[in-house]
Amino acid sequence: MNQPAESPVLALPDMQHQWLPFTPNREFKADPQLFARAKDQFYFDPAGRPILDGGSGLFTTPAGHCRDEIAEAVHRQLQELDFTPGFLRAHPKSFELARRIAGLLPEGLDRVFFVNSGSEAVDTAMKMCLAYHRARGEAGRTIFVSRERAYHGVNFGGVALSGMVNNRRAFGGTVHGVSHMRATWQEATRFQIGQPDQGAELADDLLAAIRVHGAENIAACVVEPIAGSTGVLVPPRGYLERLRDICTAHGILLVFDEVICGFGRTGEAFAAQSFGVTPDLITMAKAITNGAVPMAAVAAARFIHDTVMDAAPEGAIEFFHGYTWSAHPVACAAALASLDLYERDGLFARARALSPVFLEAVASLRDLPLVTDIRGYGMIAGIDLASDGKPGRRGQLLQKKLCDNGLHLKTTGDCAILAPQFVFSEAHIARMTEILRSTIASLG
Ligand code: PLP
């Protein structure tokens, strides 16, 4: 980055006007790490140096960067129909996309509402839960049960559900009426790759919430099947099944937030299928367009959709919710092209096939003295590093050094989160592991 300012390619932009999200702004601007270009498995910095994308962007881009098929579909769409109001008007591609997504979802979960980000998907799903219960005459069901160490985005509903104190402590009160179960991380299952054998009983925390609040006051239980952003906490065997049973027994809706897991990350289209547990709603985003255009969605079980529809008077709007950019034609075109790519190239099956190679490579790092735990499932893994005394500082340094050494991935606190693209080869996995090994070793 220390190139002469007169080079037109390498000159740094004036950065003072942009307030960056989830970034230490002052530190970043003093020593920025910019991506100028991307192709397939690599980002390139302004000097043209390749950086292997070990995070699929931000879990968004499993099919690799700048795919011609998506770029062409977006270009065609912009020339044909650039925008349609989503209220009282619609365009054919969004119906086609909803049908295609319904075809990937578990049986019965096939009514799709489009939004623009994972955060919007979460808040939309919360409203659907509340509207469903009201429509059935159970307006008292307003409490949500989620989990410690959950991440459900940054809108008010999602922040309230999330179990990350930093995301709410600067903002005072958010939405009230959320009860948090314990996270599923367990000391006894350190270094277990895949689903831990023990810990299903942690789902009984939902029973504890029922005892405290009364089932008749609880709208839904919201969980990420694998808690992704806070360090890849894989559900213990039997845990999600138990949550499902408790929800069913008590009339509580079960929501899977699959913003990270959806579209192949666990080796099936959705984690619901990988784990064999069908929730009542699924939120999805990120890989829906391979990261090319912002888009997200909520899939609701048909009975939820029909209950809300049937409760409204004939001719009335049934669900007073939606966004200007819901089902944007360009996003729909990008999503359809992405689903075509996933299907044509068998990318979910490829993720499934590559997973054992990936997980074994990650597990091989356990001998490094700074590494305190490794977890993983499908094409996502987390590596915990010992804190240097100030939580998060070592993780921050790690992701910066990794980028300098040619590997992009996200860290949360002192955990490195790996989410390779499904188009990685075994050689890319090996290279990623090598860079991780040498960089972690250099930290301590
Ligand atoms: N839910 C989960 C599980 C996520 O991982 C994320 C983002 O990482 C979100 C919601 C929020 O998505 P977005 O950043 O698109 O608003």
pLDDT in tens, 270-304: 999 999 999 999 999 999 999 999 999 999 999 99
Q: At residue 28, does pLDDT exceed 90?
A: yes
Q: Could you report the per-residue pLDDT of 401-413, keeping only the tens digit for each?
A: 999 999 999 999 9
What residues have CB less than 8 Å from 284, skipping those under 6 apart?
A: 101, 121, 258, 259, 262, 263, 270, 296, 297, 298, 299
Share of the chain above pLDDT 90, in %: 94
Cα separation, 92 vs 97, whole angstroms: 9
Do β-strands 281-284 and 253-257 pair in parallel, antiparallel, or remain unpaired?
parallel
CA of 149 to the centre of ligand 1 (A): 13
Cα separation, 46 vs 3, whole angstroms: 10
Atom of ligand 1 nearest to the CA of 260: 5
**CATH number reported for the structural domain that contains residue 407 in this entry:** 3.90.1150.10
Atom of ligand 1 nearest to the CA of 283: 1
Answer yes or no: is 409 within a domain: yes
Answer yes or no: is 11 within a domain: no
Answer yes or no: is 19 within a domain: no
The answer to whether residues 372 and 386 belong to one domain is: yes
Answer yes or no: is 12 within a domain: no
Q: At residue 217, does pLDDT exceed 90?
A: yes
Cα separation, 247 vs 276, whole angstroms: 16
Q: For residue 7, what pLDDT is reported?
A: 43
Domain C-terminal end among 343, 359, 379: 343
Q: Which of 60, 61, 229, 230 to mutate to test the pocket of ligand 1 (most atoms within 8 A of CB)?
A: 229
The answer to whether residues 220 and 360 belong to one domain is: no
pLDDT band at 1 (very low <50, low <70, confident <90, very high): very low
Half-sphere exposure of 158 (CA within 13 A, CB side): 20
Query: Residue 280: which of 206, 207, 221, 205 has the closest Cα?
Result: 221
Atom of ligand 1 nearest to the CA of 153: 11
Q: Could you report the per-residue pLDDT of 29-78, keeping only the tens digit for each?
A: 999 999 999 999 999 999 999 999 999 999 999 999 999 999 999 999 99
Domain C-terminal end among 314, 343, 372: 343
CA of 99 to the centre of ligand 1 (A): 23
Q: At residue 2, does pLDDT exceed 80?
A: no
Using CA atoms, how far residue 11 sits from 37, 43, 106, 171, 329, in Å, is 15, 18, 50, 37, 35
The answer to whether residues 141 and 256 belong to one domain is: yes
Domain C-terminal end among 343, 376, 404: 343
**CATH number reported for the structural domain that contains residue 167 in this entry:** 3.40.640.10
Residue 406 is part of which domain span? 25-63+346-443
The CA dihedral of 257, 144, 375, 42, to the nearest 10 degrees, is 30
Answer yes or no: is 18 within a domain: no
The answer to whether residues 271 and 358 belong to one domain is: no
The answer to whether residues 38 and 132 belong to one domain is: no
Answer yes or no: is 5 within a domain: no
CA of 152 to the centre of ligand 1 (A): 6
Q: At residue 3, does pLDDT exceed 60?
A: no
Q: For residue 9, what pLDDT is reported?
A: 54
The answer to whether residues 34 and 80 belong to one domain is: no
Q: At residue 152, does pLDDT exceed 60?
A: yes
Query: Residue 113: which of 101, 104, 103 has the closest Cα?
Result: 101
Ligand 1 neighbours, Cβ below 6 Å, are 117-119, 122, 151-153, 224, 228-229, 257, 259-260, 285
pTM (2 decimals)?
Answer: 0.96
Answer yes or no: is 175 within a domain: yes
The answer to whether residues 147 and 277 belong to one domain is: yes
Q: At residue 6, does pLDDT exceed 90?
A: no
Stronger pLDDT, 9 or 254, i.e. the higher one: 254
Cα separation, 111 vs 99, whole angstroms: 9
Residue 332: its H or E element = helix 329-344
Count: domains in the chain: 2
Share of the chain above pLDDT 70, in %: 98
The answer to whether residues 423 and 405 belong to one domain is: yes
Answer yes or no: is 8 within a domain: no
Judge whether 43 and 408 are in contact, CB under 8 Å.
Answer: yes
Q: Could you report the per-residue pLDDT of 388-398, keeping only the tens digit for each?
A: 999 999 999 99
The answer to whether residues 337 and 353 belong to one domain is: no
Atom of ligand 1 nearest to the CA of 227: 3
Judge whether 112 and 198 are in contact, CB under 8 Å.
Answer: no
Cα separation, 231 vs 233, whole angstroms: 6
The answer to whether residues 233 and 275 belong to one domain is: yes
Q: Could you report the per-residue pLDDT of 166-209, keeping only the tens digit for each?
A: 888 888 767 889 999 999 999 999 999 999 999 999 999 999 99
Q: At residue 102, does pLDDT exceed 80?
A: yes
The answer to whether residues 396 and 276 belong to one domain is: no
Q: What is the chain's mean pLDDT, rounded? A: 96
CA of 284 to the centre of ligand 1 (A): 9
The answer to whether residues 310 and 407 belong to one domain is: no
Atom of ligand 1 nearest to the CA of 261: 3
Query: Dihedrals φ, ψ of 283, to 5°?
Result: -95, 145
